Structure 1
Amino acid sequence: MYQIPGYEIVEQLYFGVRTAVYRAFPIYSQTPVILKLLQKDRPTFSELVQFRNQYTLGKNLNISGIIKTYHLEFSQNRYILSMEDYGGISLAEYLPQQEQGLSLEQFLNMACQLAKVLQSLHQERIIHKDIKPANILINPQSQEIKITDFSISTLLPRETQEIQNPNVLEGTLSYISPEQTGRMNRGIDYRTDFYSLGVTFYELLTGKLPFLSKDAMELIHCHLAKQVVPINKVNPEIPAILSAIVSKLMAKNAEERYQSAFGLHHDLENCLTQLQETGEITAFELGKRDITDSFIIPEKLYGRETEVADLLAAFERVANPPESPLTK
Structure 2
Amino acid sequence: MSIKDFKLETLKYSYSNFNIYNTVTSDLKNKFLAKTTKEIHSLQSESNELINEFNILSKCDHKYILKALDKKKVGNRLFVIFEEYEGISLKENFKYVNKENLNEFISIAIKFCEALDYLHKNGIIHNNIDADSILINKKLHDIRLLNFNYSFNKGYSCPSFNNKSFYNSPEQTNRINMEVDYKTDIFSLGILFYELLAGFIPYSKEKKDSLSYNIIAKDLPLVSNFNNDIPKVLSLIINKMIEKNPIDRYDSIFSLLLDLKKFKKDLIII
CA spacing shift, 1:198–1:238, aligned 2, 3 Å: same
TM-score (norm 2): 0.90
Q: Matched residues in 1 for 2:15 and 2:139: separation? A: 27
CA spacing shift, 1:156–1:25, aligned 2, 3 Å: same
2:179 counterpart (178, 184, 187): 187
Q: Which residue is equivalent to 1:151?
A: 149
What are the superposed Cα offsets for residues 272-318 of structure 1, whole Å, 9 maximum, x if unpaired?
A: 11111x22xxxxxxxxxxxxxxxxxxxxxxxxxxxxxxxxxxxxxxx
CA spacing shift, 1:108–1:123, aligned 2, 3 Å: same
Q: Matched residues in 2 for 1:30 and 1:66: separation? A: 24
CA spacing shift, 1:214–1:29, aligned 2, 3 Å: farther
| One-letter amino acid of the counterpart of residue 66, structure 1 | I
Q: Matched residues in 2 for 1:228 and 1:134: separation? A: 22
User: In 2, are the aligned partners of 1:158 and 1:189 still within 8 Å (CA)?
Assistant: no
1:273-284 alignment runs, 5 A limit: 273-276=265-268, 278-279=269-270
Q: Which residue is equivalent to 1:112?
A: 110
Q: Which residue is equivalent to 1:134?
A: 132
Q: Which residue is equivalent to 1:287?
A: none
Secondary structure of 1:186's aligned partner: coil
Residue 20 of structure 2 corresponds to residue 21 of structure 1: yes
| One-letter amino acid of the counterpart of residue 226, structure 1 | K
User: In 2, are the aligned partners of 1:110 and 1:145 still within 8 Å (CA)?
Assistant: yes
Secondary structure of 1:187's aligned partner: coil
* Alignment RMSD (CA, Å): 2.3
User: In 2, are the aligned partners of 1:161 and 1:180 still within 8 Å (CA)?
Assistant: no
Q: Matched residues in 2 for 1:251 and 1:99: separation? A: 22
User: In 2, are the aligned partners of 1:161 and 1:179 still within 8 Å (CA)?
Assistant: no
Q: Matched residues in 2 for 1:137 and 1:67: separation? A: 9
Larger relative contact order (C-alpha < 8 A, sep ≥ 6)?
Answer: 2
Q: Matched residues in 2 for 1:121 and 1:102: separation? A: 31
Q: Matched residues in 1 for 2:97 and 2:193: separation? A: 18
Q: Matched residues in 2 for 1:99 and 1:265: separation? A: 19
User: In 1, are the aligned partners of 2:15 and 2:132 still within 8 Å (CA)?
Assistant: no
User: Percent identity, aligned pairs only?
Assistant: 28
More strand by share: 2
User: Where does structure 2 lack aligned partners over 5 or more consecutive residues?
Assistant: none
| One-letter amino acid of the counterpart of residue 21, structure 1 | I
1:1-328 alignment runs, 5 A limit: 6-15=5-14, 18-28=17-27, 30-96=29-95, 103-157=101-155, 159=157, 169-170=162-163, 172-213=164-205, 215-276=207-268, 278-279=269-270
My pick for the range that moved more, 266-275 or 205-214, is: 205-214
Secondary structure of 2:202's aligned partner: coil
Q: Matched residues in 2 for 1:123 and 1:99: separation? A: 30
CA spacing shift, 1:23–1:52, aligned 2, 3 Å: same
Q: Matched residues in 2 for 1:82 and 1:161: separation? A: 22
My pick for the range that moved more, 21-30 or 190-199, is: 21-30
CA spacing shift, 1:236–1:144, aligned 2, 3 Å: same
Measure how far apart 1:93 and its partner are.
3.0
CA spacing shift, 1:173–1:79, aligned 2, 3 Å: same
Measure how far apart 1:158 and its partner are.
6.5
Q: Matched residues in 1 for 2:118 and 2:229: separation? A: 32
| One-letter amino acid of the counterpart of residue 202, structure 2 | P
Q: Matched residues in 2 for 1:90 and 1:224: separation? A: 28
Q: Which residue is equivalent to 1:304?
A: none
CA spacing shift, 1:80–1:187, aligned 2, 3 Å: same
TM-score (norm 1): 0.75
User: In 2, are the aligned partners of 1:161 and 1:188 still within 8 Å (CA)?
Assistant: no
Measure how far apart 1:133 and its partner are.
1.6
Measure how far apart 1:60 and its partner are.
1.8
| Count of residue correspondences | 267
User: In 1, are the aligned partners of 2:42 and 2:78 still within 8 Å (CA)?
Assistant: no
What are the superposed Cα offsets for residues 200-258 of structure 1, whole Å, 9 maximum, x if unpaired?
A: 11111122112223633311111100010111111122111100000000000001000
User: In 2, are the aligned partners of 1:211 and 1:228 still within 8 Å (CA)?
Assistant: no
